[in-house]
Amino acid sequence: MTAPTVLTGLPDSGLAATDHSDGWNRPPIIEPDGEGELLEVAMGPHHPSTHGVFRMDVALDGERVIRLKPVFGYLHRNHEKIAEGASYLASMPYTDRLDYFCSLTNNWAFALSVEKLVGQDVPERAEYIRVILAELTRIQNHASTIGFLTQEMGASGTPLMYAFREREKILDLFEELTGSRMMCNYMRFGGCRVDMSAAHLASARKIVAGLPGFIDEFEALLSTNEILMARCQGIGKLRPELAINAGISGPMLRASGVDYDIRKVDHYGIYDRFKFRVPLGDHGDVYDRYMVRVLEMRESVTILEQALKDIPAGPIMDPKSKIRGFRPKPGEAYGRIEAPKGELGFYLISDGTPNPYRYRVRPPSLINLTVLEDMCLGESVADVVVIFGSVDIVLGEVDR
């Protein structure tokens, strides 16, 4: 049996491992012995743990991953082309369906971009409402992500059911306020559609009061669980340089130790008024991503408590904003927010007509997926599913 040859560079790249000209620090890859063949498997699109219709073409040597190619596009719905044919207002309900777990943050990102395009102001109460709803969305997204991650690890859905129990309360509030649990269609250019009444604020306060107990329960179940630690620590490491170069954003980036939270960087909305911390991880593995999400949930609770205390009375829509006949002047704008999954950005080019000339979504899930292969190389196939779950993607966003 010959010794395995050590190849450098990724297959097909033709570049040596020492070539850092494009910023990528390539890992050396061990070519299999040449005796056995590589086992090539397609994981998905029908698979219990691929978070939607998604395929991974994996080449295995025994249990180790030699090559991994993500294949997506099964959920492509022409979102950007539809937006070119529809007015700006008509695109708002379509943005709900991008990352269907977090429809309110999608709405906010789009509203922010359009407001940047036309230079519109937003009244204070509307900004507070936006922050409250966005943080509630963040909490339920992170809880669900952790639930799905543990579901894939085989915990029979128990943490998932607990996360969904809390999520139900938040969704009930969304239904009372916006009319729909998931496809909220709530933000408008210049404010929000419906005012939060005292009853809504009371429900929100009740939910927020119950959240620290829930997060404690969650942590007691999971964070010190030795099996979880064994399955998650040291798996799927992402180096900070690679993360920065690949444009990763969100909890994945912060788990690798990079301090970049768009709420603190861009100072959009009124986030400057709230005191909250940004948790960072040191190892960049799956466990760090899980813990960063848990800590972010706690920080969101802090923000919510402050926002619910300080929310002022006032109008919720800028009186100068128009619902119909909205015709922005020609120009372009890129607006981005810290969505629960990462940096969600909308790039709009307007040519003076009611429909945008170009409407481009920068989906965090898609960009975060680009490093999936780098994280999975050399890991066992049972870990691929876990690493994939820790990236936290939603196919609606990846494929648009």
Partner 1 sequence: MIDKADQIFVLLQHWLISFLPLALQQPAAVLIGVIGIISVFPAIFALTTVFERKGLGRIQNRLGPNRVGPFGFMQPIADAIKSLTKEDVVPSTANGPVHFLAPVGLVVAVFMGFAVLPVGRNMVLVDMDAGLLFFFAMGASTEVSVFMAGWSSRNKYSLLGAMRAVAQMISYEVVLLLSSVAVVMITGSLSLTKIVEAQNQYTGIFPHWYIFTPWGLAGFVMYAIAATAETNRSPFDLPEGESELVAGYHTEYSGFKFALFFLGEYLAMLSISGLGTTLFLGGWSAPFSFLTFMPSWFWFFSKLMLSIFVFIWMRGTLPRLRQDQLMNFAWKFVLPFTLLDLFVTALWRFMGEGLLRWFVCSAILLAAYIIMGRIAMVRKQFGPRSYRYAE
Partner 2 sequence: MLGEGILKGMAETAKNFAGSFVSKERLTTVEYPEERIAPAENARVFPFLVYDSENWEKGLRCVACQICEKECPPKCIYIDKSKDKKPDYVGKQQFYPTRFDIDISVCMSCQICVEVCPFEAIKMDTQFELATDDRFGGLLLDREQLAKSNEYYHELHPTEAAEVDARLAEEKAKVEAKAKATEAAAAKAAADAAAKTAAPASPTQAKPEGGQD
Residue 224 to residues 35, 105, 171, 216, Cα–Cα distance (Å): 42, 31, 29, 12
Of 282, 315, 358, 370, which lies in the binding site for partner 1, with binding defined by CB under 8 A?
282
Residue 146 within binding range of partner 1, rule CB under 8 A: no
H/E stretch holding 356 reads: none
Identify any residues that bridge with 61 across adjacent strands, giving them in sequence order: 64
Q: Which amino acid is at 112?
A: L
Smallest gap from Cβ 226 to partner 2, in A, equals 5
Closest CA to 369 of 239, 243, 284: 243
Question: In the structure encoding, which two tokens stand for residue 224, read together?
Answer: 């010190």
How many residues interact with partner 1 (rule CB under 8 A)? Answer: 50
87 binds, among partner 2, partner 1, none (CB under 5 to 8 A by kind): partner 2
CB of 7 or CB of 229, closer to partner 2 = 229
Residue 90 within binding range of partner 2, rule CB under 8 A: yes
Residue 29 within binding range of partner 2, rule CB under 8 A: no
CB of 21 or CB of 156, closer to partner 2 = 156
Question: In the structure encoding, which two tokens stand for residue 149, read together?
Answer: 């991650």
Residue 312: exposure state from Cβ atoms within 10 A (0-12, 13-18, ≥19): exposed
- ∠ Cα 260 263 267 (to 5°): 115
Residue 71 DSSP SS3: strand
CA 91 to chain centroid, in Å, comes to: 20
Residue 53 within binding range of partner 1, rule CB under 8 A: no
- DSSP-assigned states of every residue in 75-124: T---HHHHHHHS-HHHHHHHHHTTSTT-HHHHHHHHHHHHHHHHT----H
Question: Which residues within the stretch 115-174 sit at the binding site for partner 2 (CB under 8 A)?
Answer: 158, 162, 165, 168, 172
How many residues interact with partner 2 (rule CB under 8 A)? Answer: 37
CB of 139 or CB of 386, closer to partner 1 = 386
Instruction: Write the CB contacts of 15 (distance below 8 Å, at least 6 apart in sequence).
Output: 9, 21, 26
Residue 225 within binding range of partner 2, rule CB under 8 A: yes
Residue 380 within binding range of partner 1, rule CB under 8 A: yes
Residue 193 within binding range of partner 2, rule CB under 8 A: yes
Residue 17 within binding range of partner 2, rule CB under 8 A: no
Binding span for partner 2 by CB under 8 A among 218-226, 308-316, 329-337, 374-382: 218-226
Of 44, 269, 281, 335, which lies in the binding site for partner 1, with binding defined by CB under 8 A?
281
CB of 29 or CB of 194, closer to partner 2 = 194
CB of 228 or CB of 366, closer to partner 2 = 228
Whole-angstrom distance, CA of residue 196 vs CA of residue 178:
9
Residues of the shown chain interacting with partner 2 in the complex, contacts defined by CB under 8 A: 86-87, 89-94, 96, 158, 162, 165, 168, 172, 175-180, 183, 185, 193-194, 217, 220-229, 323-324
